[in-house]
Amino acid sequence: MTQSPRGIELRCICLDMGFGELHARTQRENLSTVEEVVRATGCGGQCQTCRPYISLMLRTGRVPTIDDVNPELHE
């Protein structure tokens, strides 16, 4: 049985920024929309792969992890 890396936070690869840091910036700078996050940080503005997770973070108020990408890995 393969063990999966539960709970590991996602990163914006293009900007090399973890979502923990990104989440802290959204709180500190009162960023509440994906476009505001893109403008303030650059995350989500390049390849855009992380945009759905920025949206998830803003909706839920928590740091998205690998579990949000592929939850069936952990069944």
Report residue 36 as tokens.
């505001």
Residue from 22, 31, 37, 50 in contact with ligand FES (CB under 6 A): 50
Residue 18's SS3 state is strand
Q: Which of residues 20-49 bind ligand FES (CB under 6 A)?
A: 43-49
**Binding of ligand FES at residue 66 (CB under 6 A)?**
no
The site that binds ligand FES (CB under 6 A) totals a number of residues, namely 11
Report residue 55 as tokens.
């949206």
Site for ligand FES, rule CB under 6 A: 12-14, 43-50
